Structure 1
Amino acid sequence: MKIDTKAKWGIVLGLGPALLIYIGFAIVPIIISFYYSFMKWDGFSPMQYVGLDNFKELFKDQLFWHSLKNNVYVILASVIGQLSLALLFALLLNRKLKGAKFFRTIGFMPVVLSSVVVSLTWSLIYNSEDGLLNELLRAVGLQSWTQNWLGNEHLAMISVCVTIIWQFIGLYMIIFLAALQNIPREILEAAEIDGATEWSKTWKIILPMMKDTITAALVLAISGSLKTFDQIYVMTSGGPNHATDVSALYMYNKTFQSLQFGYGSAISVFIFIFGLVLILVLNKLIGKSAV
């Protein structure tokens, strides 16, 4: 199908403003970060070119690797927790369920709430003295299970991950629900006539037909997990004893609190490359599994 010149210019004019905004707020900052990563700069004195010194220091920085490990925990929580639960809820809501619209609205509501509000609310739930979670445990006779959820080095990261999972399940639920509703009913009805069970329909028909949507959701979950910042900043600020430090928070501290703009940019560049490699590997694995 050929597109005439007038239509082409219409497409250019339509996409132009969005493209310029994207270049200005996404591409240009990335390029600037790459440039700063080769510099030593405190934001005030003249920049000093140091080559790869920032990256050499980065690879020796134990706190950075610890924060990256915590990021991997967030990625696993997002992929395993968010996507699996979101898919389960989407499958349930795709049925002729009474009150399905209400449950969709309730499920999506945390997504539109401010991350700061969500984090403050969950901080109150986790409060060690009179938080809702500890009060519920006391009410059912499980006094010994009460914890300082955000003050315990072994539980703080798990507690934060639960908050992140809860907040974004609704986003992926709606994405999966849209994909489910685009599957032709005729295919599922034909499978039912052939005697297919619900499990075999889900595993052999529904999930393969949702492959592209699931791949896109995985990419969103991984990229979003690597940018995790606000929930942890509000709930724990990386504590206790760096137990909940993640790469974005560590980069923020190095850049704006320690005024190491070059080193902070090196961290951001590494996060960018690490995320890109993860997504490329994911696409490669999914591509091989389809062969």
Structure 2
Amino acid sequence: MHLLKKPWIIAVGVIPALVIYLIFSIVPIFISFYYSTMSWDGFSDMQFVGLANFQEVLQDKVFWLSVRNNILVVLASVFGQIPIALALALLLNRKIKGAKFFRTIGFMPVVISTVVISITWRMIYNSEYGMINNFLEAIGLGALQQNWLGDPTWAMVAVCITIIWQFVGLYFIIFLSALQTVPSEILEAADLDGASEWQKTIHIVLPSIWNIILISVVLCISGSLKTFDLIFVMTSGGPASSTEVMATYMYDKTFEGLRYGYGSAISVLIFVFSIALILITTKLLRRKEV
């Protein structure tokens, strides 16, 4: 019973997980830093080129287009997933009929394979037999039909909608769990004082779970910056690189272009952008804590 109080026993439990994390998460970051200074096609000998890869990446117009698209994904995720998930959590935190059913349905997209989701939504967006265009035609709005994934104007919008739909359930469950920790005594006292539901939500509920909201925003940003599989399956970065993000561009240059040094430079920049954006966001949101 007192074994867990001994530090060496805790270390035995933590060290294996820490070693695995170091091998598969931390070490590859340093390897990418090393490769980013090299010119290598995966077959011939490596050649040291210093910062030449970074200089080329920073002058690459397609790379900056991928950065812009990544920012759009981040904005769509943060301002789409977080508010929708929070609203659903506040709604289903009440004792309403069928709440458990809606909770299950809301979380289902999270556990479904991203490849399955990508193929399904690609079919929904299909310009010939897709559900959206068929629905618009059925209600007499055929003029609004689009080639959703084939038009550079709409492709990124379509992808962002899919990303929002896929991960709303994750933050919905996180917020729902956080709402369970809000002290009921405080809410009851607010009821006795005549506080409205809106006032309780703004002045009691949200401040109580603010740290959870902050963590969710950080998770949302980090996940959005490494978005790859959904976009790769749905559009492969097209048309005309209109849905290219940093991860898909890195894959294209590394494995299809056989430029491992150049691809590693892109991965390093993804890492740097991620850390910078998360630090800035955390600092801005913490200022609002009271």
Band of TM-score, shorter chain: over 0.9
Code of the residue aligned with 1:225 in structure 2: it is: S
Query: Deviation of residue 149 (structure 1)?
Result: 0.5
CA pair 66-8 structure 1, distance change in 2 beyond 3 A: same
CA RMSD of aligned residues (A): 1.2
State the partner residue of 1:25. Answer: 24
Code of the residue aligned with 2:116 in structure 1: it is: V
State the partner residue of 1:258. Answer: 257
Identity %: 61
Report if the CA contact (8 A) 2:210-2:289 is conserved: no
Query: Deviation of residue 4 (structure 1)?
Result: 8.2
Code of the residue aligned with 1:19 in structure 2: it is: L
1:73 aligned onto 2:76? no
**Aligned-partner Cα distance in 2 for 1:289–1:111:** 30
Residues 210-266 of structure 1: per-residue CA shift (max 9 Å, x gap): 111001101100000011011111111111110000000000000000011001000
Code of the residue aligned with 1:175 in structure 2: it is: I
State the partner residue of 1:141. Answer: 140
1:275 aligned onto 2:281? no
**Aligned-partner Cα distance in 2 for 1:115–1:176:** 23
State the partner residue of 2:89. Answer: 90
Query: Deviation of residue 164 (structure 1)?
Result: 0.5
1:63 aligned onto 2:62? yes
Give the 5 Å matches for 1:94-113: 94-113=93-112
Gaps of 5+ in 2: none
Residues 88-120 of structure 1: per-residue CA shift (max 9 Å, x gap): 000001000111111000000000000000000
**Aligned-partner Cα distance in 2 for 1:9–1:265:** 38
3-state SS in 1 of match to 2:6: helix
Query: Deviation of residue 18 (structure 1)?
Result: 1.1
Query: Deviation of residue 82 (structure 1)?
Result: 0.5
Give the 5 Å matches for 1:1-291: 7-290=6-289
Residues 178-221 of structure 1: per-residue CA shift (max 9 Å, x gap): 00001111111111111111111111111111111001101100
Query: Deviation of residue 284 (structure 1)?
Result: 1.2
3-state SS in 1 of match to 2:152: coil
**Aligned-partner Cα distance in 1 for 2:108–2:45:** 47
**Aligned-partner Cα distance in 2 for 1:214–1:53:** 40
**Aligned-partner Cα distance in 2 for 1:24–1:17:** 11
Code of the residue aligned with 2:177 in structure 1: it is: A
Code of the residue aligned with 1:239 in structure 2: it is: G
**Aligned-partner Cα distance in 1 for 2:173–2:6:** 33
Gaps of 5+ in 1: none
CA pair 48-149 structure 1, distance change in 2 beyond 3 A: same
What is the TM-score normalised by the length of structure 1? 0.97
Code of the residue aligned with 2:147 in structure 1: it is: N
Report if the CA contact (8 A) 2:4-2:10 is conserved: no
3-state SS in 1 of match to 2:287: helix
**Aligned-partner Cα distance in 2 for 1:171–1:125:** 23
What is the TM-score normalised by the length of structure 2? 0.97
**Aligned-partner Cα distance in 2 for 1:180–1:232:** 33
**Aligned-partner Cα distance in 2 for 1:253–1:5:** 48
Code of the residue aligned with 2:38 in structure 1: it is: M
**Aligned-partner Cα distance in 1 for 2:73–2:231:** 11
Code of the residue aligned with 2:75 in structure 1: it is: L
**Aligned-partner Cα distance in 1 for 2:11–2:271:** 29
**Aligned-partner Cα distance in 2 for 1:233–1:5:** 46
Residues 21-70 of structure 1: per-residue CA shift (max 9 Å, x gap): 11111001111001111111111111111111111111101100000100
**Aligned-partner Cα distance in 2 for 1:252–1:155:** 23
Code of the residue aligned with 1:149 in structure 2: it is: W
- Runs of 4+ residues over 6 Å off in structure 1: 3-6
**Aligned-partner Cα distance in 2 for 1:64–1:125:** 29
